[in-house]
Amino acid sequence: MKHSNNNTLSHFGFRFDNGSAHTARTMMLEDLQLLLSYVNHPDSSKNEYLKAIKEDNCLGKRSRKTRILTNRHLVYLYSLDPSTTIFRALRYFWERDIDGQPLMALLCSYSRDSILRLSEPFIIQLTEGETITRVDLEEYIDEKQPDRFSKATLKSTAQNLNSTWTKSGHLVGKTKKIRARAMATPSSVSYALFLGYLTGIRGESLFTTEYTTLLDCSKARLIELAEDASRRGWIVFKRIGNVMEVQFPNLLTAQEKGWIHEQN
């Protein structure tokens, strides 16, 4: 994810630091699902999520230390802050299309986690049915970032990444992972288009971004699912031949529209 306007994108919730939750955790899909069903109002504050995890122990963690760490990792991956554009948009689509939750969680954490982004080309280029092991991914990471991780950290990071890509639907299997096809839905397509839109991409090009690549489906299928989302009133998608326009009237504040205007 290389963009010339990283400062603006940081306002929207994208992260560009070298950190990663994946050295310690997966994308924490089950924890996120539990948390967002427990704190079920879209306008809930960041403090309400924090209270739900630490005080109410809605995720059923054994110790206060684990609860604090869980909160830290979830904030790193998702922000849990309704004033953060990409989290607010995630919440908007989350309950509207439950089948899309795994890919939406992947898209959000991909926007914020550098090691997850680093692993993407390795996973996406695998052909359906191809087998990979944890060691394959370890070697790939070590080649891309030589000597950054100890052997133990490299092993746990590769395990966590493989688990994340399994939860998102890109891999299946326990120890040996087999490349599968993730299941795109109207919400995951809408969210991927929105992330591309925030980075300054417009029109037909929105269907060929790094975010839509994560959805594992053809451009024609992406367009079908965008049309479905538009019929549901989630996004506005207009198409005349190859001229396409996608808008997100439900998702942006006046301030965010101002940032986008400056970006353009």
Residue 196: pLDDT above 60?
yes
Q: What is the pTM of this model?
A: 0.96
Q: Is residue 5 part of a domain?
A: no
On whether residue 62 sits in a domain, the answer given is yes
Same domain, 172 and 191: no
Whether 108 maps to a domain, the answer reads no
**Mean pLDDT across the stretch 22-40?**
97
- What's the chain's average pLDDT? 95
pLDDT reported for residue 2: 55
Contact 114, 17 (CB under 8 A): yes
d(CA 264, CA 259): 9
pLDDT of 204: 95
Indicate whether 4 pLDDT > 60. Answer: no
Cα gap 64→153, rounded to integer Å: 24
| Together in a domain, 190 and 162 | no
Q: Is residue 107 part of a domain?
A: no
128, 162, 179 - which closes a domain? 179
Tell whether 17 and 91 lie within a shared domain: yes
The residue segments making up the domain with residue 135 are 114-179
What are 37-74's pLDDT values in tens digits? 999 998 999 999 999 999 999 999 999 999 999 999 99
pLDDT of residue 144: 96
Overall average pLDDT of the 154-168 stretch: 97
Determine what percent of the chain is predicted with pLDDT higher than 70.
Answer: 98
Q: Are residues 148 and 193 in the same domain?
A: no
Alpha-carbon gap, residue 213 to 227, rounded angstroms: 18
Single out the residue of 107, 138, 132 nearest to residue 216, CA to CA: 107
**pLDDT average, residue stretch 236-248:** 93
pLDDT above 90 for 3: no
Flag whether 56 is in a domain. Answer: yes
Identify whether residues 246 and 222 lie together within a single domain.
Answer: yes
140, part of any domain? yes
> Among 99, 127, 152, where does a domain finish?
99
Co-location of 123 and 165 in the same domain = yes
- CA-nearest of 131, 86, 132, 49 to 141 is 132
CA distance 231 to 245: 14
Residue 260 pLDDT: 86
Q: What is the CATH number of the domain that holds 216?
A: 1.10.10
Confidence band for 133, pLDDT divided at 50, 70 and 90: very high
Q: Is residue 123 part of a domain?
A: yes
* pLDDT reported for residue 155: 96
Q: 67, 99, 131: which is the final residue of a domain?
A: 99
Task: Answer yes or no: do 171 and 197 share one domain.
Answer: no
Mean pLDDT over 106-114 rounds to 98
Q: What is the pLDDT of residue 6?
A: 78
Position 258 scores a pLDDT of 87
Instruction: Say yes or no to pLDDT of 262 above 90.
Output: no
